[in-house]
Amino acid sequence: MASTSSFTIPIVDLSKPDAKSLIVKACEEFGFFKVINHGVPMESISQLETEALKFFSMSINEKEKAGPPNPFGYGSKRIGQNGDVGWVEYLLLNTNEEHDFSLCGKNPENFRGLLNSYTSLVKKMACGILELMAEGLKIQQRNVFSKLLMDEQSDSIFRVNHYPACPELAVNGENLIGFGEHTDPQIISLLRSNNTSGLQIYLRDGSWISVPPDHNSFFINVGDSLQVMTNGRFRSVRHRVLANGFKSRLSMIYFGGPPLSEKIAPLPSLIKGNQSLYNEFTWFEYKNSTYGSKLADNRLGHFERI
Ligand code: GA4
Protein backbone atom coordinates (compact mmCIF):
# COMPACT_ATOMS: atom_id res chain seq x y z
CA MET A 1 0.00 0.00 0.00
CA ALA A 2 1.20 3.48 -0.79
CA SER A 3 2.22 5.63 2.13
CA THR A 4 1.19 9.26 2.41
CA SER A 5 4.46 11.04 3.10
CA SER A 6 2.86 14.46 3.65
CA PHE A 7 0.78 13.21 6.57
CA THR A 8 1.60 14.35 10.07
CA ILE A 9 -0.27 13.27 13.19
CA PRO A 10 -2.44 16.13 14.52
CA ILE A 11 -1.07 17.43 17.83
CA VAL A 12 -3.38 19.11 20.32
CA ASP A 13 -2.01 21.19 23.18
CA LEU A 14 -4.72 20.86 25.83
CA SER A 15 -3.60 24.08 27.50
CA LYS A 16 -4.31 26.20 24.41
CA PRO A 17 -7.64 27.86 23.54
CA ASP A 18 -7.69 26.38 20.02
CA ALA A 19 -7.74 22.82 21.44
CA LYS A 20 -11.44 22.22 20.79
CA SER A 21 -11.40 23.20 17.14
CA LEU A 22 -8.23 21.17 16.50
CA ILE A 23 -9.79 18.16 18.22
CA VAL A 24 -12.96 18.36 16.10
CA LYS A 25 -10.90 18.67 12.91
CA ALA A 26 -8.69 15.69 13.84
CA CYS A 27 -11.71 13.54 14.78
CA GLU A 28 -13.46 14.35 11.51
CA GLU A 29 -10.41 13.70 9.37
CA PHE A 30 -8.73 10.76 11.11
CA GLY A 31 -10.42 9.87 14.42
CA PHE A 32 -6.96 10.14 15.89
CA PHE A 33 -4.66 12.75 17.46
CA LYS A 34 -1.87 13.21 19.95
CA VAL A 35 -2.18 15.36 23.07
CA ILE A 36 0.48 17.28 24.92
CA ASN A 37 0.12 19.21 28.19
CA HIS A 38 -2.27 16.48 29.24
CA GLY A 39 -1.88 16.93 32.98
CA VAL A 40 -0.94 13.34 33.86
CA PRO A 41 2.31 13.49 35.85
CA MET A 42 5.17 11.46 34.38
CA GLU A 43 5.72 9.94 37.81
CA SER A 44 2.31 8.27 37.80
CA ILE A 45 2.92 6.94 34.29
CA SER A 46 6.39 5.57 34.92
CA GLN A 47 5.51 3.97 38.25
CA LEU A 48 2.70 2.01 36.65
CA GLU A 49 4.88 1.15 33.67
CA THR A 50 7.59 -0.21 35.98
CA GLU A 51 5.06 -2.36 37.82
CA ALA A 52 3.66 -3.68 34.52
CA LEU A 53 7.15 -4.53 33.26
CA LYS A 54 7.83 -6.41 36.49
CA PHE A 55 4.69 -8.42 35.86
CA PHE A 56 5.66 -9.29 32.28
CA SER A 57 9.20 -10.26 33.32
CA MET A 58 7.86 -13.12 35.46
CA SER A 59 7.88 -16.71 34.20
CA ILE A 60 5.04 -17.75 31.90
CA ASN A 61 3.77 -20.10 34.64
CA GLU A 62 3.49 -17.23 37.10
CA LYS A 63 1.80 -14.97 34.57
CA GLU A 64 -0.69 -17.61 33.52
CA LYS A 65 -1.96 -17.74 37.08
CA ALA A 66 -3.56 -14.38 36.27
CA GLY A 67 -5.24 -15.78 33.13
CA PRO A 68 -7.01 -16.58 30.94
CA PRO A 69 -8.70 -13.27 30.14
CA ASN A 70 -12.39 -14.13 30.50
CA PRO A 71 -12.84 -11.26 30.04
CA PHE A 72 -10.23 -9.92 32.51
CA GLY A 73 -6.77 -11.25 33.28
CA TYR A 74 -3.52 -12.22 31.54
CA GLY A 75 -3.48 -13.31 27.91
CA SER A 76 -0.75 -14.26 25.50
CA LYS A 77 -0.87 -14.32 21.69
CA ARG A 78 -4.60 -15.06 21.49
CA ILE A 79 -6.80 -11.98 21.22
CA GLY A 80 -10.53 -12.31 21.83
CA GLN A 81 -12.44 -15.57 21.39
CA ASN A 82 -12.54 -15.91 17.64
CA GLY A 83 -9.12 -17.03 16.50
CA ASP A 84 -7.16 -13.74 16.32
CA VAL A 85 -3.50 -14.02 17.29
CA GLY A 86 -0.67 -11.51 17.62
CA TRP A 87 2.90 -11.14 18.87
CA VAL A 88 1.69 -9.74 22.17
CA GLU A 89 1.00 -10.58 25.80
CA TYR A 90 -1.37 -8.45 27.83
CA LEU A 91 -3.37 -7.73 30.95
CA LEU A 92 -7.02 -6.77 30.61
CA LEU A 93 -8.42 -5.10 33.72
CA ASN A 94 -11.70 -3.65 34.86
CA THR A 95 -11.36 -0.04 36.02
CA ASN A 96 -14.42 -0.02 38.27
CA GLU A 97 -14.67 -3.27 40.15
CA GLU A 98 -11.84 -4.59 42.22
CA HIS A 99 -10.07 -7.10 40.04
CA ASP A 100 -8.63 -10.10 41.87
CA PHE A 101 -5.03 -9.07 41.92
CA SER A 102 -3.90 -11.86 44.21
CA LEU A 103 -2.31 -13.57 41.23
CA CYS A 104 -1.01 -10.46 39.48
CA GLY A 105 2.66 -10.20 40.24
CA LYS A 106 4.70 -10.01 43.41
CA ASN A 107 3.20 -6.85 44.85
CA PRO A 108 -0.46 -6.84 43.80
CA GLU A 109 -1.63 -4.12 46.22
CA ASN A 110 1.00 -1.76 44.88
CA PHE A 111 -0.05 -2.55 41.29
CA ARG A 112 -3.74 -1.94 42.12
CA GLY A 113 -2.97 1.33 43.90
CA LEU A 114 -0.89 2.66 41.00
CA LEU A 115 -3.51 1.51 38.52
CA ASN A 116 -6.32 3.24 40.40
CA SER A 117 -4.54 6.57 40.58
CA TYR A 118 -3.42 6.35 36.93
CA THR A 119 -6.90 5.49 35.64
CA SER A 120 -8.54 8.27 37.60
CA LEU A 121 -6.10 10.79 36.08
CA VAL A 122 -6.57 9.43 32.58
CA LYS A 123 -10.36 9.32 32.99
CA LYS A 124 -10.25 12.98 34.02
CA MET A 125 -8.30 13.79 30.86
CA ALA A 126 -10.74 11.72 28.77
CA CYS A 127 -13.71 13.64 30.21
CA GLY A 128 -11.97 16.98 29.57
CA ILE A 129 -11.35 15.98 25.95
CA LEU A 130 -14.95 14.77 25.53
CA GLU A 131 -16.18 18.12 26.86
CA LEU A 132 -13.97 19.98 24.40
CA MET A 133 -15.46 17.79 21.64
CA ALA A 134 -19.01 18.68 22.72
CA GLU A 135 -18.12 22.38 22.80
CA GLY A 136 -16.34 22.17 19.45
CA LEU A 137 -19.43 20.49 17.97
CA LYS A 138 -21.59 23.27 19.49
CA ILE A 139 -23.66 20.80 21.50
CA GLN A 140 -25.52 22.60 24.30
CA GLN A 141 -25.02 19.87 26.86
CA ARG A 142 -21.30 20.03 27.49
CA ASN A 143 -21.20 16.72 29.35
CA VAL A 144 -23.21 14.76 26.79
CA PHE A 145 -20.27 12.39 26.18
CA SER A 146 -18.28 12.76 29.41
CA LYS A 147 -21.25 11.86 31.63
CA LEU A 148 -21.12 8.34 30.18
CA LEU A 149 -17.61 7.84 31.55
CA MET A 150 -18.42 9.63 34.81
CA ASP A 151 -21.35 7.29 35.46
CA GLU A 152 -20.62 4.81 38.26
CA GLN A 153 -21.75 2.03 35.94
CA SER A 154 -19.42 3.12 33.12
CA ASP A 155 -18.07 0.02 31.41
CA SER A 156 -14.49 1.19 30.99
CA ILE A 157 -11.51 -1.12 30.56
CA PHE A 158 -7.79 -0.84 31.05
CA ARG A 159 -5.32 -2.79 28.96
CA VAL A 160 -1.55 -3.18 29.16
CA ASN A 161 0.04 -4.65 26.03
CA HIS A 162 3.60 -5.97 25.98
CA TYR A 163 5.11 -6.65 22.56
CA PRO A 164 8.42 -8.48 23.07
CA ALA A 165 11.17 -7.71 20.57
CA CYS A 166 11.20 -10.32 17.84
CA PRO A 167 14.85 -10.80 16.79
CA GLU A 168 14.00 -12.79 13.63
CA LEU A 169 12.36 -9.68 12.25
CA ALA A 170 15.56 -7.72 12.58
CA VAL A 171 17.31 -10.37 10.49
CA ASN A 172 14.60 -10.89 7.87
CA GLY A 173 13.31 -7.34 7.74
CA GLU A 174 9.73 -8.64 7.63
CA ASN A 175 6.55 -7.38 9.24
CA LEU A 176 4.90 -9.30 12.05
CA ILE A 177 1.51 -8.36 13.44
CA GLY A 178 1.62 -7.51 17.13
CA PHE A 179 -2.07 -6.56 17.35
CA GLY A 180 -4.20 -6.92 14.22
CA GLU A 181 -6.15 -4.08 12.62
CA HIS A 182 -9.38 -3.08 14.32
CA THR A 183 -11.45 -0.18 15.56
CA ASP A 184 -12.16 0.25 19.27
CA PRO A 185 -15.83 -0.34 20.14
CA GLN A 186 -16.02 2.12 23.06
CA ILE A 187 -16.37 5.93 23.04
CA ILE A 188 -12.77 7.01 23.36
CA SER A 189 -9.39 5.35 23.95
CA LEU A 190 -6.32 7.00 25.47
CA LEU A 191 -3.04 5.28 24.74
CA ARG A 192 0.37 5.89 26.19
CA SER A 193 3.38 3.82 25.13
CA ASN A 194 7.09 3.64 25.74
CA ASN A 195 9.41 4.96 23.03
CA THR A 196 9.18 1.88 20.77
CA SER A 197 7.41 2.27 17.43
CA GLY A 198 4.76 -0.10 16.12
CA LEU A 199 1.42 1.71 16.14
CA GLN A 200 -0.05 2.41 12.71
CA ILE A 201 -3.29 4.05 11.69
CA TYR A 202 -5.27 3.52 8.51
CA LEU A 203 -6.14 6.49 6.37
CA ARG A 204 -9.16 6.74 4.10
CA ASP A 205 -6.89 6.72 1.05
CA GLY A 206 -5.98 3.12 1.90
CA SER A 207 -2.52 3.75 3.36
CA TRP A 208 -1.11 2.67 6.71
CA ILE A 209 0.78 5.41 8.56
CA SER A 210 3.36 4.69 11.26
CA VAL A 211 2.80 6.82 14.36
CA PRO A 212 6.16 8.00 15.76
CA PRO A 213 6.24 6.93 19.42
CA ASP A 214 6.32 9.62 22.09
CA HIS A 215 6.44 8.44 25.69
CA ASN A 216 5.56 11.92 27.00
CA SER A 217 2.27 12.21 25.14
CA PHE A 218 -1.07 10.44 24.85
CA PHE A 219 -2.67 9.23 21.65
CA ILE A 220 -6.43 9.47 21.40
CA ASN A 221 -8.67 7.20 19.30
CA VAL A 222 -12.30 7.86 18.46
CA GLY A 223 -14.26 4.64 19.16
CA ASP A 224 -17.25 3.20 17.28
CA SER A 225 -19.77 4.48 19.86
CA LEU A 226 -18.60 8.06 19.39
CA GLN A 227 -18.81 7.63 15.62
CA VAL A 228 -22.47 6.65 16.10
CA MET A 229 -23.29 9.44 18.57
CA THR A 230 -21.85 12.01 16.17
CA ASN A 231 -23.81 10.40 13.30
CA GLY A 232 -20.59 9.57 11.48
CA ARG A 233 -19.09 13.05 11.77
CA PHE A 234 -16.25 11.65 13.88
CA ARG A 235 -14.58 8.52 12.56
CA SER A 236 -13.48 5.57 14.64
CA VAL A 237 -9.93 4.97 13.55
CA ARG A 238 -8.71 1.61 12.24
CA HIS A 239 -5.33 0.87 13.76
CA ARG A 240 -2.86 -1.97 14.33
CA VAL A 241 0.52 -2.61 15.93
CA LEU A 242 3.54 -4.18 14.22
CA ALA A 243 6.12 -6.04 16.30
CA ASN A 244 9.62 -4.59 16.51
CA GLY A 245 12.79 -6.51 15.74
CA PHE A 246 14.98 -4.70 18.26
CA LYS A 247 13.00 -3.24 21.15
CA SER A 248 10.01 -4.33 23.18
CA ARG A 249 6.96 -2.09 23.25
CA LEU A 250 4.73 -1.47 26.24
CA SER A 251 1.45 0.36 25.85
CA MET A 252 -1.23 1.18 28.40
CA ILE A 253 -4.70 1.95 27.08
CA TYR A 254 -7.78 3.28 28.84
CA PHE A 255 -10.99 2.47 26.94
CA GLY A 256 -13.78 4.79 28.07
CA GLY A 257 -17.11 3.01 27.67
CA PRO A 258 -20.73 3.82 28.62
CA PRO A 259 -22.88 1.90 31.12
CA LEU A 260 -24.17 -1.40 29.68
CA SER A 261 -27.79 -0.17 29.64
CA GLU A 262 -26.93 3.08 27.83
CA LYS A 263 -28.68 3.65 24.51
CA ILE A 264 -26.23 4.66 21.81
CA ALA A 265 -27.73 6.66 18.95
CA PRO A 266 -26.90 9.76 16.89
CA LEU A 267 -27.48 12.96 18.90
CA PRO A 268 -30.52 14.85 17.53
CA SER A 269 -28.53 18.08 17.19
CA LEU A 270 -26.03 16.30 14.95
CA ILE A 271 -28.67 14.78 12.71
CA LYS A 272 -30.40 18.10 11.91
CA GLY A 273 -31.65 17.95 8.32
CA ASN A 274 -29.63 14.82 7.59
CA GLN A 275 -30.65 11.23 8.03
CA SER A 276 -29.70 9.20 11.04
CA LEU A 277 -27.06 6.80 9.76
CA TYR A 278 -27.45 4.24 12.56
CA ASN A 279 -30.12 2.28 14.35
CA GLU A 280 -30.13 2.76 18.10
CA PHE A 281 -28.56 0.02 20.23
CA THR A 282 -27.57 -0.41 23.84
CA TRP A 283 -23.90 -0.70 24.72
CA PHE A 284 -24.74 -4.19 26.04
CA GLU A 285 -26.01 -5.20 22.59
CA TYR A 286 -23.01 -3.71 20.82
CA LYS A 287 -20.58 -5.30 23.21
CA ASN A 288 -22.19 -8.70 22.73
CA SER A 289 -21.96 -8.43 18.99
CA THR A 290 -18.36 -7.19 19.34
CA TYR A 291 -17.28 -10.19 21.34
CA GLY A 292 -18.68 -12.46 18.66
CA SER A 293 -16.60 -10.77 15.97
CA LYS A 294 -13.05 -11.00 14.69
CA LEU A 295 -10.67 -8.08 15.20
CA ALA A 296 -10.72 -6.80 11.63
CA ASP A 297 -14.52 -7.01 11.21
CA ASN A 298 -16.57 -3.91 10.49
CA ARG A 299 -18.72 -4.15 13.61
CA LEU A 300 -20.82 -1.06 12.94
CA GLY A 301 -22.03 -2.51 9.64
CA HIS A 302 -24.87 -4.40 11.43
CA PHE A 303 -26.21 -1.17 12.89
CA GLU A 304 -26.11 1.02 9.81
CA ARG A 305 -29.40 2.24 8.36
CA ILE A 306 -29.76 1.27 4.76
C1 GA4 B 1 -10.48 -4.03 20.77
C2 GA4 B 1 -10.35 -2.93 21.84
C3 GA4 B 1 -10.05 -3.48 23.25
O4 GA4 B 1 -8.67 -3.89 23.32
C5 GA4 B 1 -10.95 -4.70 23.58
C6 GA4 B 1 -10.66 -5.77 22.55
C7 GA4 B 1 -11.39 -7.12 22.71
C8 GA4 B 1 -10.51 -8.16 23.44
O9 GA4 B 1 -9.29 -8.12 23.38
O10 GA4 B 1 -11.11 -9.06 24.05
C11 GA4 B 1 -11.76 -7.57 21.27
C12 GA4 B 1 -11.52 -6.32 20.36
C13 GA4 B 1 -11.34 -5.18 21.33
C14 GA4 B 1 -12.70 -6.08 19.39
C15 GA4 B 1 -13.26 -7.38 18.76
C16 GA4 B 1 -13.24 -8.58 19.71
C17 GA4 B 1 -13.20 -8.07 21.15
C18 GA4 B 1 -11.00 -8.76 20.70
C19 GA4 B 1 -11.89 -9.23 19.60
C20 GA4 B 1 -11.52 -10.07 18.64
C21 GA4 B 1 -10.78 -5.12 25.03
C22 GA4 B 1 -12.36 -4.36 23.21
O23 GA4 B 1 -13.22 -3.89 23.92
O24 GA4 B 1 -12.59 -4.71 21.89
CATH value at residue 265:
2.60.120.330
pLDDT in tens, 58-106: 999 999 999 999 889 999 999 999 999 999 999 999 887 666 665 577 7
**Confidence at residue 121, expressed as pLDDT on a 0 to 100 scale:** 98
Q: Is 156's C-beta closer than 6 angstroms to any atom of ligand 1?
A: no
Asked if residue 125 is part of any domain, the answer here is yes
* Mutational pocket test of ligand 1: of 93, 94, 295, 297, the residue with most ligand atoms within 8 Å of the beta carbon: 295
Query: In this model, does residue 199 exceed pLDDT 80?
Result: yes
- The answer on pLDDT for 217 being more than 90 is yes
pLDDT at 216: 98
On whether residue 302 sits in a domain, the answer given is no
Whole domain around residue 260: which residue ranges? 11-292
Flag whether 189 is in a domain.
yes
Whose CA is closest to 146, among 188, 191, 106? 188
Instruction: Name the residue of 74, 79, 90, 286 whose CB sits within 8 Å of the most ligand 1 atoms, as the mutation to test its pocket.
Output: 79
- Does residue 57 register a pLDDT over 90? yes
Structural domain includes residue 46:
yes
The alpha carbon of 183 and the centre of ligand 1 are apart by a number of angstroms equal to: 9
pLDDT band at 158 (very low <50, low <70, confident <90, very high): very high
Residue in 195, 181, 210 with CA at minimum distance from that of residue 248: 195
Cα of 15 from ligand 1 centre, angstroms: 32
Indicate left, alpha or beta for 29 from its phi (over 0: left) and psi (-120 to 50: alpha): alpha
Shortest-distance Cα residue to atom 5 of ligand 1: 184
Q: Count of domains in the chain?
A: 1
What single-letter amino acid sits at 94? N
In this predicted structure, the answer to whether residue 42 has a pLDDT above a threshold of 70 is: yes
pLDDT at 97: 62
- Of the two residues 5 and 257, the one the predictor is more confident about is 257
Whole-number mean pLDDT of the chain? 94
2 pLDDT above the threshold of 50: no
Of all protein residues, whose CA lies closest to atom 7 belonging to ligand 1? Answer: 80
Share of the chain above pLDDT 90, in %: 86
Asked if residue 1 belongs to a domain, the reply is: no
**Which atom of ligand 1 is closest in space to residue 69's alpha carbon?**
10
Nearest-angstrom CA–CA distance, 248 and 166: 8
pLDDT at 170 over 80: no
Residue 119, in any domain of the structure: yes
What is the reported pLDDT for 138?
97
List, for residues 8-35, the tens digit of each pLDDT value: 999 999 999 999 999 999 999 999 999 9
Query: What is the per-residue pLDDT for 5?
Result: 52
Per residue in 224-283, pLDDT (tens digit) is: 999 999 999 999 999 999 999 999 999 999 999 999 999 999 999 999 788 999 999 999
Query: Does 71 fall in a domain?
Result: yes
Those residues with Cβ within 8 angstroms of residue 261's Cβ, 6 or more apart along the chain or in another chain: 153, 282, 283, 284
* Statement: residue 1 has pLDDT above 50: no
Residue 146 lies in a domain: yes
Closest protein CA for atom 8 of ligand 1: 80
Ligand 1 neighbourhood includes 80 CB (under 6 angstroms):
yes
- Find the angle CA(93)-CA(97)-CA(98) to the nearest 5 degrees: 80
| Residue 80 CA to ligand 1 centre (angstroms) | 6
252 lines ligand 1 (CB under 6 A): no
pTM: 0.96
